[in-house]
Amino acid sequence: MKTTRQITILGSTGSIGESTLDVIARHPDRFQAFALTANNNVEKMFAQCQRFQPRFAVMLNTASAEQLASAIKSAGIQTEVLAGIESLEKVASLPEVDAVMAAIVGAAGIRPTFAAARTGKLVLLANKETLVMAGRIFMDLVKQHNATLLPIDSEHNAIYQSLPHHFNGNLTAAGISRILLTASGGPFRRAPLDSLASVTPEQACAHPNWDMGQKISVDSATMMNKGLEVIEAHWLFEAPPEKIQVVIHPQSVIHSMVAYVDGSVIAQLGNPDMRTPIAHAMGYPDRIESGVSALDMFKVAHLDFEEPDFKKFPCLGLAYQALAAGGNMPAVLNAANEIAVESFLKRRMPFTAIPLMIEHVMKTMRQEEMSTLDDVLRTDEQARDAAQNWLANLQ
């Protein structure tokens, strides 16, 4: 009888991937890293292979895969090195795999996450784009193939923990009045509106509470991250937009809440450390040690809440608009945002141009329904082209 759960980590060299490996290392009797994947960080991947000895290591970049394979061979490690998107799909769907941590940032993570769902895996979802771009298609796939989906985003994991055990996707039947999605407000919560035009990538990536990658940090600074999470919450919990309320909570201690019709509000609290939701999902339904220190309520002392400023953070409003429009618009929003953030990080446009690019692309693209993953990927490509054209005209 197999007792060790075999885990494929899509995006093992990112912050979520590293935290997942930390939890695995704490429970070697429960979990084993079956496959690790990354884009092009050969140095970090090699170190992970040395420590965790996975069956497979996959690099999306072919040249990086060749470099890793050479290092692996010289070190006498038995890990097999593969390359390309098809290999990502392979290690997400092999029969030996029990669970897949979907932690690749961006649209690149969609195909292997779909492969995991298509083969009925336990999908630990940290890739926002899968639900933002292809929410209905993905959720139908999960149901069709009896996959199990557990959210890893701290907010959605908190909501999951705050729902009643009998919740079956019907908010009204469960007595739920609202989902309260908390947000830190990012580094510019108190910044004057007229100061945002001069924001640098370094300032935008300096998140007050969380240690995250550059792209997610910028999304937090624009509050697009929260907008994408609103779309995710819609699909995960079958919640209409008007039932999802964003609440600014600067301390990031309450990770989200569920409000009930009887006046109760149930919240999940904890220190801001992604190992908590990762350990919750990996061990579910059991509770396992995560390495996160206990929350000191006396040190926290107080909890603050504010309404979001849609004028200062127009990306949040654009996300609500995309969700209300439906069809391909969330995918268009996501693609335009990825190009906008990348362009800002490369100093090709100012911080305040991010929502301008996204709004332009949303207005440019024709609204249409999507029924297949190919439809989603085609929309993604078209929206990226539209964003690049806008950038060229700006410059």
Q: Residues 20-31: pLDDT tens digits?
A: 999 999 999 999
Residues 6+ apart with CB under 8 A from 178: 243, 244, 245, 258, 259
pLDDT confidence of residue 107: 75
CATH number for region 326-395? 1.10.1740.10
- Is the pLDDT reported for residue 263 higher than 50? yes
Report if pTM > 0.85: yes
Rounded Cα gap, residues 223 and 181, in angstroms: 12
Does domain 5-151 bear CATH number 3.40.50.10140?
Answer: no
Tell me the CA distances in angstroms from 101 to 24, 48, 121, 124, 264, one per residue in order: 12, 16, 10, 5, 33
Task: Say whether 90 sits in a helix, a strand or coil.
Answer: helix
pLDDT confidence of residue 331: 96
pLDDT confidence of residue 88: 97
Range name among 61-70, 93-102, 208-217, 302-311 with the lowest pLDDT average: 208-217
Tokens linked to 257: 């809440």
Mean pLDDT of 87-93: 98
Q: Dihedral sign for Cα 122, 165, 285, 246, please.
A: positive
Residues 6+ apart with CB under 8 A from 286: none
User: pLDDT averaged over the chain?
Assistant: 95
Mean pLDDT of 196-218: 86
- Is the pLDDT reported for residue 2 higher than 70? no
Point out which residues pair with 123 in neighbouring strands.
Answer: 100, 149
Rounded Cα gap, residues 301 and 328, in angstroms: 44
Q: Dihedral sign for Cα 362, 365, 370, 373, please.
A: negative
How buried is residue 394: exposed, middle or buried, by Cβ count under 10 Å (0-12/13-18/19+)? Answer: middle
Rounded Cα gap, residues 122 and 139, in angstroms: 13
Domain layout of the chain by residue ranges: 5-151, 153-272+305-311, 326-395
* pLDDT tens digits, 163-195: 998 899 999 999 999 999 999 999 999 999 999
Mean pLDDT of 256-265: 98
Let me know: does 181 contact 245? Beta carbons within 8 Å.
yes
Nearest alpha-carbon partner for 153 in 181, 114, 191, 119? 181
Rounded Cα gap, residues 139 and 235, in angstroms: 7
Point out which residues pair with 101 in neighbouring strands.
Answer: 9, 124
pLDDT confidence of residue 1: 42
Say yes or no: do domains 5-151 and 326-395 share a fold: no
Range name among 106-115, 289-298, 379-388 with the lowest pLDDT average: 106-115
Task: Say whether 264 sits in a helix, a strand or coil.
Answer: coil
pLDDT confidence of residue 67: 98
Range name among 107-116, 329-338, 375-384 with the lowest pLDDT average: 107-116
Instruction: Grade residue 52 by pLDDT with cuts at 50, 70 and 90.
Output: very high
pLDDT confidence of residue 87: 98
- Is the pLDDT reported for residue 294 higher than 60? yes
Rounded Cα gap, residues 140 and 153, in angstroms: 21
Instruction: Grade residue 210 by pLDDT with cuts at 50, 70 and 90.
Output: low
